[in-house]
Each structure stands twice: as structure tokens, then as C-alpha cells.
Structure 1
Amino acid sequence: MALARHVTDFHGILLFRRDYAERDYLVKFFTQEFGKKMFLVRGAKKKGFKMTADILPFTVGSYVGDIADDGLSYIRTARETRQFQAIGTDIFKNAYATYVMSLVDIAFPDSQQLPDWYHKVHRALDLIDEGLNPAIVTNIIEIQLMPAFGVAPQLLGCAVCGRNDLPFDYSESYGGLLCQRHWAQDPRRLHLNQRTIYYLRQFSVLDLDRLHTIKVKPATEAALRQLMDEIYASQIGVHPRSKRFLDQMQSWAPRLAQNPTTDN
């Protein structure tokens, strides 16, 4: 039985590409119209291939494709594309952006229409590319992605009584925030400071289109990273390879700051 196909325009963010056969690439796009799709690009490794620049990592744009309901689709031509230039040339931005795209690829099944998430990922990559703190942009995506992984912590109020006017802490056992009156019910609560709780709650509902600048103290940034690592490790169980590289890269930062490269 032949697969259903149709030729149409689509908008896509390139998630990754990999070698396929001697001359071809498999390229995975997060499309605005069809969700995540894998495309076979024939002859992409040949010298003079006309779409070489259109299928580079960290590319976004509009294309014409032969779209299959299931299985491999095909790209016929590129209409208008661009690269996230700073992400492509900055190892730190690159690592955060790759991790964001890895999480999105894991969180959703292929061929599920996700126009809101397409826009959100596009905006997140734009913000990282433009120079906003990539760690914070990544935190926002991580927090807002949690329901897609089946983890939807109670962040509006206390998971026990619903109050929202007392200091909070985060309880994995209760699946969200506990107000001060109920801290004793979970001796293993995470003992987060209130500034970290504030950003956790704000980031869970933040519209990235409204985000243009943000400053978070290094201690709070580190606490948010630790919190996300704890939730993703213990409750979600997702460990993309890109996150391991990101962790390694973060360990380089203090050494790079202490031993800056100088030109002679």
C-alpha cells in the first residue's frame, strides 16, 4: 500500500542531520505545519549541491517538500532560509540550543502538529542568538516542557492547601510547591530559596514573546540549574547526549574565566 504524500510549502527549524548512504543526508525538521518530520535529501553531499547552505545545522526557513504522512519525506527546494549565526559560531550558545532542540525532539512524537511549540522554540533560539542568557532561556523551555513529559507540578499554589500567600518550597513527593505550613510533611523537600521559587513560578507561565531582557544572579541561576537537573533526572528520566556535553562545557567556564586566552 503506497504512503499518502503531498507536495506543499512548509516552515521548519533544522533539529539535526546525519549521514545516509554515500551521497545523502537524513535531515530532521521541526515544522510549523506538520510537527517533526524526517526528510531524505538526495545528493546532498555532492559537490555543487544547490541546497547545501539550506540544510546546515541551526537553519530555519521555508521549503517545498514532498510530505509523507508516515516515513520519510523529501525536500524539493528551499525558498528562504537563514542560519542562527551566533549559535552556529559560539560553543556555549550552540550547546544550549542543541539541548533545547534535543528536549523538544524527545518530548513529542513525530508528525504531531505543534504550531505553538514551533513558535516557542523559534523564539527561544532567536533569544539565544541575540545574546540573552542561554541558561535562563533553556530553563524556561525545560519548565514549560515538563507537562509534555507527563510531569505537571503544582506551581500556582500549595499542593496540599492551595494557598499562595506564604513562603514555598518544592516537594517532589507532593508534585509541586508546599507552603510553609506544610513543609513538615516532606522532610525531603528541596530547601530552595524564595528567589529560586519566584523564578520557577514566573518561568512556568512566561510568554517568550514578552521576554526582551532578564538578569538573574549567578547563585539563583545555579540553583535553577540544579533544580531542573533534579526534576529531569528523578521525575522525567530524560538524559539527552547534548545535556552531558552541556554539563561538561559548564565545568569549563570557571577555568576559562581564570585563564583567559591572550593574543601576543
Structure 2
Amino acid sequence: MFFIKGARKRGFKLSSALLPFTIGTYSGNLNDNGLSFINAAKEFEQLKMISQDIVSNAYTTYIFSLIDAAFKDNEPIPVWYQKVATAIRLIDEEFDAEIITNIIEIQLLSVFGVQPQLQGCAVGGETQGEFDYSEAYGGLLCSKHWYLDNNRLHATQKAIFYLRQFSVVNLDKLNSIKVAERTKKELRQIIDVIYDNSVGLNLKSKKFIDGMSSWPVSLKKKTEI
């Protein structure tokens, strides 16, 4: 966390560089004790679509909240910095913000100490066939092992397919993605089950997103803030 001297003064030279949802290169004093300060910025750009659209804004804010919860302060996270930077650029380019967020959520599970088996059966290791998600077994069960857990999620194969894909997809190589609304809702339910029961976060940004589900469709389409 950094502080900025004189940020509220009229004509402050860094005002445009410090707007929300701005990516840039910043320099300053990083102190082990006391306050750290930003003194200069260069090569910065504001992600205008995210800044103006309330839905994109909400999902991006939630991604930042997840990262803040997953990592300790002052811990360098170069890999995840790049991953999040790619994610929010994709959202700003109007990729589906909900799906990009799902990918981040699933890939963050290992950081939270939760590592569900999403590439094969948690019992037999099978990688082909039909699968379902089992909380009791910590991941996927193939159809021949479904009898082991009557409380498995009974998810559709489409949802399971995307769950598996999202766990390994490289955002830097993502060219396009389109998921049916019914499948998106099911993915949301599955990920919520995993986060609620295995991670246990209680983020205001997630509650805001949950509240958006009751908004009229017309309000969620390109709503400027």
C-alpha cells in the first residue's frame, strides 16, 4: 500500500495516473518501516470501459478483492500480477466479465489452500467419460464412482467441461469465449459451493455481484457509472 502526497490539491500532476482502474509504471519510496510513497508515474492508461460500465466494474473489483484476500501484504506476486492484468484487459476489451472472473476464482483455489481434483476422477484417476463434482471426495468423480457420493452436485456435463477447462486455461492465449446463460448460472452455483464450504470468504464485492442477479437486464447492459 502506498500513500500519495498532495493528491487532493488542485492541479495535482499525478491525478490522471491515479484514477481507479489505471495500469501504469509507478516509482516512489518503498520503506520497510513507516509509510511508502508514490512520487511519479509513466506509461499509464485508464481502462475506460471498466470505469464506465457498472457490471465490468463490479467483477473487476471482485477480482481485486480476491487477490487481496489470497496474498499477504508486501508479498511479490509477479505471476498473479500478470494474470490479473491480462484478466482485466480482457474485461476492458468486452470479454465476458463473469467468465473471466470464474477462471480467476478457480485458478486461485490452490492459493487459498484448496486444490480440488478437476482433471480426472478423484478416486480412480480416469480422465475420460462423464464426471460430477463431489465435495466429499474433493473434486471430480467419474460416472462409475458416482455411487460413492449421493450428495454430489449432479452438475451437467457442460458445466463440468468448463470447470475443467477453466482450471488450466491460459488467459494470455484466450481469443474468444461464449458460454450459455444456463451454464453460466450453474458454474456460478458450483464455484459458490466450493468457495462457501472450502474457502469461507465474505467479500462485499461478491455480495454486490450476487445482488446484480436481481437487476433488470436493461440495467445491466452498458450501465455507465
What TM bracket, shorter-length normalisation? Answer: over 0.9
Question: What is the match of residue 159 of structure 1?
Answer: 122
Distance 2:139 2:35 in 1: 40
The reply on whether 1:235 has 2:211 as its aligned counterpart is no
Q: How does 1:18-29 map to 2 (within 5 A)?
A: none
The CA RMSD measured in Å over matched residues stands at 1.4
CA contact (8 A) 1:69 1:111 kept: no
Question: What is the match of residue 185 of structure 2?
Answer: 222
Which one of 94, 112, 123 corresponds to residue 149 of structure 1?
112
Q: Cα–Cα, structure 1 residues 253 and 209, in superposed 2: closer, same or farther, change >3 Å?
A: farther
Q: How does 1:23-102 map to 2 (within 5 A)?
A: 38-69=1-32, 72-102=35-65
Q: Cα–Cα, structure 1 residues 215 and 71, in superposed 2: closer, same or farther, change >3 Å?
A: farther
From the CA coordinates, give the structure whose radius of gyration is larger.
Answer: 1
Distance 1:163 1:186 in 2: 17
Question: What is the match of residue 33 of structure 1?
Answer: none
The DSSP-based 3-state class of the residue aligned with 1:219 is helix
CA apart distance, 1:255: 6.5
Which one of 81, 92, 106 corresponds to residue 69 of structure 2?
106
The reply on whether 1:125 has 2:69 as its aligned counterpart is no
What is the identity, as a one-letter code, of the residue corresponding to 2:180? K
Unpaired stretches in structure 2, ≥5 consecutive residues:
none
CA apart distance, 1:71: 5.2
Which one of 226, 239, 247 corresponds to residue 210 of structure 2?
247
The DSSP-based 3-state class of the residue aligned with 1:94 is helix
Distance 2:150 2:125 in 1: 19
Q: Deviations over 1:163-211 (max 9, x none)?
A: 1122100011111001111111111110000010000000100000111
TM-score, normalization by structure 1: 0.81
Distance 1:184 1:172 in 2: 14
Q: Cα–Cα, structure 1 residues 71 and 148, in superposed 2: closer, same or farther, change >3 Å?
A: farther
Unpaired stretches in structure 1, ≥5 consecutive residues:
1-37
Which structure's residues are more often strand, by fraction? 1
The number of equivalent residue pairs is: 221
CA contact (8 A) 1:143 1:203 kept: yes
Distance 1:46 1:256 in 2: 35
What is the identity, as a one-letter code, of the residue corresponding to 2:131? F
The DSSP-based 3-state class of the residue aligned with 1:173 is coil
What is the identity, as a one-letter code, of the residue corresponding to 1:84? L
Question: What is the match of residue 136 of structure 1?
Answer: 99
Distance 1:59 1:140 in 2: 22
CA apart distance, 1:112: 1.4
Higher relative contact order (CA 8 A, sep 6+): 2
The DSSP-based 3-state class of the residue aligned with 1:60 is strand
What is the identity, as a one-letter code, of the residue corresponding to 1:89? Q
The percentage of aligned residue pairs carrying the same residue is: 52
The DSSP-based 3-state class of the residue aligned with 2:202 is coil
Distance 2:34 2:76 in 1: 16
Distance 2:74 2:21 in 1: 21
Question: What is the match of residue 173 of structure 2?
Answer: 210
Q: Cα–Cα, structure 1 residues 177 and 70, in superposed 2: closer, same or farther, change >3 Å?
A: farther
Q: Deviations over 1:86-117 (max 9, x none)?
A: 00000010001000111011111111121111
TM-score, normalization by structure 2: 0.94
Q: Cα–Cα, structure 1 residues 52 and 237, in superposed 2: closer, same or farther, change >3 Å?
A: same
CA apart distance, 1:49: 1.1
Q: How does 1:1-12 map to 2 (within 5 A)?
A: none
The DSSP-based 3-state class of the residue aligned with 2:213 is helix
Q: Cα–Cα, structure 1 residues 165 and 173, in superposed 2: closer, same or farther, change >3 Å?
A: same
Distance 2:202 2:183 in 1: 23
